[in-house]
Amino acid sequence: MSSTLQGKHIILGITGGIAAYKSVMLLRLLVKAGAEVQVVITPNGKEFITPVTLSALSGKPVVSEFFTANTGEWHSHVDLGLWADAMVIAPATASSIAKMANGVADNMLITTYLSAKAPVFIAPAMDLDMMAHPSTTRNIALLRSYGNHIIEPASGELASHLTGKGRMEEPENIVAVLENFFAAGRSMAGRRVLISAGPTIERLDPVRYISNFSTGKMGYAIAEEAAARGADVTLVSGPVSVEAHHPAIKVVKVESAREMLEACRSYFSDCDTAILTAAVADYAPAHPRDKKIKREHDGIDSIELVKNPDIAATLGETKREGQLLAGFALETDNAVDHGAEKLERKNLDMIVVNSLADAGAGFGTDTNKVTLLFRDGRPAESFPLKSKKEVAADILDAIATL
């Protein structure tokens, strides 16, 4: 099968880090996938890998300086920035990341980055302490907030012989990220997506509440993936500690199921797709107090509860022709049967079933193992244990086929 990178113009930016040796393999894989690659290397990068190797593999002279010293030929970073369909900077050192985040245009690579109109993919590589330093964290968050795609470094043995997070992602995986991005049907440009995420909390009094263990990670991962594919995302979120990074995600914070219902109802009419990942509390205290319940005076021994509204079912009732509604079902037993029942009852088009019985799935984990059930009669689709980011991509791929 031909790669989605066939004929694509890619700028490969190489900065001065030990991982630059892996960029040779990355370049080879990009060229093999049919991409036209222009290498731009920083002066420090050349200390780690020679332009001769890179120009031989790319079939193009490597660009490093603003002009060629002996001929005076000027290299236009603006033209390069316009030529590219994507720019990938791998490895990106702490110092280049800082320059990109703050617009310090003191070499050809950074000026090209600042002129690039195409999506930019950044693969950091550095020692674990540099990676964990607050300045690096802040600079990477800034780059994310500009809409750049960060290809997270992996954990493992580093050039310093220490073990930790900071290893540049493997070239095959970087190519896979780019291929995914260009894959036909993946683009969600122009789509408006509503996502509910996190738990709801239902107040008992000003200091106590009923809730559940949802952390919002799955919903936020779907929001990031949809935004990276070009969608306009409204993320209605219960109280969580995860944060949304992509500038195309609008976060609407709510607390209770009733507030979540109101927010979802008001945004749903404008959306073409809604993905309800929230773990909505099914019950709320019937008589929340406005003063703290005291152990001695109030001496309560039971809490009267009322049923909360079913947000998914409410949206399912008002769903228009052409709108897609997807839900989640986290079960402890008979997961697929319960999921199939919810798919019908809530008038969903797809439901993502996950089971607490599976190791690595469910609340708080960074992984999930899901089965997708569809309303249109096609068979269920089961996936192995994957990162929540990969699961998010699988879910959006499935939604694209509905």
**Where along the sequence are the contacts to ligand CTP (CB under 6 A)?**
196, 257, 276, 278, 280, 282, 308, 310-312, 327-330, 342, 346
Answer for the pair 35, 66: CB distance below 8 angstroms, yes or no.
Answer: no
Comparing CA positions, the residue from 90, 101, 78 lying closest to residue 19 is 90
In the complex with ligand CTP, the residue whose CB is nearer, 14 or 329, is: 329
Structure tokens at 24: 């040779």
Is 212 an active-site residue? Answer: yes
In the complex with ligand CTP, the residue whose CB is nearer, 48 or 209, is: 209
Rg over CA atoms, the chain: 25
195: left (phi over 0), alpha (psi -120 to 50) or beta: beta
Rounded CA gap, 145 and 131, in Å? Answer: 18
Comparing CA positions, the residue from 333, 353, 332 lying closest to residue 342 is 353
In the complex with ligand CTP, the residue whose CB is nearer, 274 or 393, is: 274
Rounded CA gap, 322 and 366, in Å? Answer: 32
Catalytic residue among 139, 212, 354, 368: 212
User: Helix (H, G, I), strand (E, B), or coil: what is residue 250?
Assistant: strand
Least Å from the CB of residue 238 to ligand CTP: 10
Structure tokens at 376: 């249109």
Q: In this structure, how many other beta carbons lie within 10 angstroms of the beta carbon of residue 182? A: 18
388-400 helix and 217-228 helix, angle to the nearest 10 degrees? 60
State phi, psi for 119 to the nearest 5 degrees: -60, 145
In the complex with ligand CTP, the residue whose CB is nearer, 151 or 263, is: 263
Least Å from the CB of residue 265 to ligand CTP: 11
Least Å from the CB of residue 312 to ligand CTP: 4
**Sheet hosting strand 232-237, strand order edge to edge:** 249-253, 232-237, 192-197, 273-276, 324-331, 350-355, 370-374, 381-382
User: Helix (H, G, I), strand (E, B), or coil: what is residue 361?
Assistant: coil
Question: Which residues are within 8 A (CB) of 48 and not within 5 positions of it... i.e. 6 or more apart?
Answer: 16, 17, 18, 20, 21
In the complex with ligand CTP, the residue whose CB is nearer, 60 or 345, is: 345
Give the type of residue at 44.
N
Rounded CA gap, 239 and 215, in Å? Answer: 8
In the complex with ligand CTP, the residue whose CB is nearer, 95 or 196, is: 196
Supply the DSSP string of 59-94, one letter for each residue: TSPPB-SSB-TTT-PBP-HHHHHHH-SEEEEEEE-H
In the complex with ligand CTP, the residue whose CB is nearer, 121 or 220, is: 220
In the complex with ligand CTP, the residue whose CB is nearer, 83 or 363, is: 363
Taking CA atoms, 329 is separated from 58, 334, 364, in Å, by 48, 11, 15
Question: Which residues are within 8 A (CB) of 378 and not within 5 positions of it... i.e. 6 or more apart?
Answer: none
Q: Which residues are catalytic?
A: 212
